Chains A and B, each alone.
Chain A
């Protein structure tokens, strides 16, 4: 699919990952966690793909994780597949290998008969050969119901996104009404709690490259001449810095109207987003990245200092994604599941310490030590969380 120039970077990334992983639940082309390699082979199986040959350095390998190092020695873009004996079912593929480039394909394969195939020019049946995997005694942890667990997780997350966007639009309308009417007190009260619905589903919301800047651009992110709308435009007016000129009623109305219209657009568009397990896993990681780069530094809510609301919402979104994937993860890597559980709990416990009323203390009220403690817990969660996608999709 061709993406227009206006397309969000995040959308590009997300689609690319879907393209790679959706059809191939058992495989993540590229590379794998070395700790799980159980000595199935001594080093990768070398594959050389040319215009009319597909040389595989061995025709047999013991079961477990197999690594094919596929070198494109032809002049066209090529692909490599590991197919089941029937020649139809795909166990793994690595695509988009430019001429001269080597890419690894890692597949977990039980004993049995298979076919290898190179597809120079990405056309036709490809150049095929038979391949045998012998019994090594290492049992790959593949469950027949695994795909179902993944599908369930994706469906649950889709329902969560729907619920959050519904609450977001209701809250946004109430906020916009108060803001337009000049009821700054009410608008300030609604600001942080309404934004939480946005922050919980941020990676999904951000996948719409044109809407994200309209709704969530910070002043520092603007380019020369760009019109500033959205939440942070209102934030500055509601929590004005020194020497700030307040908006006129007409300007407030315009911002409010736009905010509601853009949010309605967002709600409509999220209904058709296709969620896949890798998108959940990557989304969870991205939410923690957001916390680490924006919230923990107090940069997101530079005037309102309500960063802890956003912080909590990002963690909520990541935790829900993890919990939706958890049944699948339990089968693949129970240890990682348990570790993530503990780390989410530790971070949540620390966040709770800063709760105040229905919300939190302002970020500028935290001591340096408290910020450091939060940052450390975000890092200790972020690192294992970055392994979630590969663990469930591989």
Chain B
């Protein structure tokens, strides 16, 4: 079955994959290249936004270094992205390529509705100190470092090369010369921050939100303790893996003695789109993923399904404007999948592999018709297909904002790739927006039952965004 269905002719192959060869933001690439060049030639550039002499590792925010209005529009759009971004500005943001910075401050944390970057480094930490003041200090230090790194600057006052000759540099330096690459850092708190071994911690008695549940065991779970849980999570997304890894590395370094990395995960190849300006990417099964995802342009839906509202109890007001992050490490039996016929693959997914149209017809974004029947009255979109079971129509209308990544962590030692999908979703309430759907999928979705295995898991309360002068999770400690 080599290359089928694309193997028959080059023509039809191209016709079936609109935009794939072009990629996202193609039109912005030439400009980006020029910009790069200018930044490099310019050497140490000045951050216009701050007006300091600190070395920016990224000359792009410097208005002088940018080929004019394009980057300014990109910056503005990126900023608006936290709040009320229209489809038009999202499109503008996307076409300014990978060099723009995504502002750290805002009503909501960046890295949720921000158009999904290409790379991920996520780390979950155990808090080892029991001192509330130390924890608050750490969150303040992390806030400062995150703000610096997301705007393209090194961490610390002296960065990677401007410190004392006889001291280790404050910043580790591997991101020098690299652009901000749309780095976002998103922080969340796990249940272990509020209580451990039945005892409250950090004086946070009564502050654990009810929605921050202990996830139930789902059929087929094979969770490994070393990939599960954590007291604090940090999601670093960027268009450059080195920038994302640099960010986590420096935050972990700042945290030594107070926190310890419990697990971390690298991801490549975003598996969903969070903006209509993005082409739907493919997962490791070769299918488009995230076609029906919530997008940054869906403001009303985001309020309804992603952002925590005012409804929670008095001890939970600190979560207003926040969200809940579900992380699941899903191993895919990709070798077995590759031995499966195209007919069966499409039936399991419920969409065509080529253009990603629902099997009931149309194009990628055509609304699926779950009742349309073919031969013998059997629905064209099978009853046990992944797309049908995950669709809002089958889940009391609930939706989530998915932000997953492909991963490959080498091999399993038996000649199979240890690869799959690192699933990340942001929801208003995991009790209504994740657990029922995951239960339904774990039971009825043949794809889940036969080709997937969940090996890691985490649920985190993601506080709202930070304003200048504040720090991450400030409301929780007020």
Contact = CB atoms under 8 A, between A and B. Distances in A.
Contacts of B5: 30-31, 104
Given A34-B2, A100-B357, A104-B5, A223 B446 contact: no
Contacts of B361: 72, 77, 98-101
Nearest to A217: B219
Contacts of B340: 386
Given A34-B7, A223-B443, A371 B377 contact: no
A2 B439 CA distance: 24
Interface in B435-456: 439, 442-446, 449-450
Nearest to A285: B339
Given A101-B359, A104-B5, A19 B414 contact: no
Interface in B207-226: 216-222
Nearest to A379: B415
Contacts of B344: 13, 17
B335 A379 contact: yes
A223 B442 contact: yes
A9 B444 contact: yes
B352 A390 contact: no
Contacts of B16: 102
Contact of B439 (A16, A101, A223): A223
Interface string A191-227: 0000000000000000000000000000011111000
Contacts of B7: 34
Contact of A96 (B11, B375, B450): B375
B366 interface: yes
Contacts of B443: 223
A35 B374 contact: no
Contacts of A386: 339-340
Interface in A33-57: 33-35, 43-44
Contact of A98 (B2, B335, B354, B362): B362
Given A3-B378, A223-B442, A43 B9 contact: yes
A224 B413 contact: no
Nearest to B368: A98
A136 interface: no
A301 B11 CA distance: 50
Nearest to B222: A220
Nearest to A69: B12
Contact of B219 (A222, A297, A375, A383): A222
- The A interface, classified by DSSP as helix, strand, loop or mixed, is mixed
Contact of B357 (A20, A29, A31, A98): A98
A98 B1 CA distance: 23
A310 B241 CA distance: 43
A125 B134 CA distance: 80
- The B interface, classified by DSSP as helix, strand, loop or mixed, is loop
Contacts of B341: 30, 389-390
Interface residues of A, number: 61
Contacts of A383: 339
Contacts of B380: 77, 96, 98
Contact of A33 (B1, B342, B446): B1
Interface in A351-394: 368, 371-372, 375-376, 379, 382-383, 385-387, 389-390
B414 A2 contact: no
Interface in A1-32: 1-3, 5, 7, 9-10, 12-13, 16-17, 19-20, 29-32
B360 A98 contact: yes
A101 B351 CA distance: 10
> Which residue, of B220, B363, B377, has the highest number of chain A Cβ atoms within 10 A?
B220
A101 B343 contact: no
Nearest to B366: A100
Contact of A19 (B218, B357, B375, B383): B375
A289 B1 contact: no
B383 A3 contact: yes
A95 interface: yes
Contacts of B220: 220-221
B366 A122 contact: no
A202 to B, nearest CB: 12
B204 interface: no
B8 interface: yes
A67 interface: yes
A25 to B, nearest CB: 16
A84 interface: no
Interface in B93-152: none
Contacts of A221: 219-220
B304 interface: no
Given A98-B357, A222-B217, A289-B450, 18 more contacts: A16-B343, A17-B343, A17-B344, A19-B376, A34-B2, A34-B3, A34-B4, A34-B7, A43-B12, A101-B362, A104-B5, A285-B339, A293-B450, A368-B413, A379-B335, A382-B336, A386-B339, A390-B1
Interface of A: 1-3, 5, 7, 9-10, 12-13, 16-17, 19-20, 29-35, 43-44, 67, 69, 72, 77, 79, 95-96, 98-102, 104, 122, 220-224, 285, 289, 292-293, 296-297, 299, 368, 371-372, 375-376, 379, 382-383, 385-387, 389-390
For the complex of A and B, 5 pairs with smallest distance between CB atoms: A98-B361, A9-B446, A386-B339, A96-B374, A31-B4
15 contacts: A2-B378, A13-B344, A19-B376, A32-B1, A34-B7, A44-B8, A79-B375, A96-B380, A98-B360, A99-B361, A100-B363, A221-B220, A289-B339, A289-B450, A292-B335
Interface of B: 1-5, 7-9, 11-12, 16, 216-222, 333, 335-336, 339-344, 347, 352, 354, 357-363, 366, 372-378, 380, 382-384, 413-416, 439, 442-446, 449-450
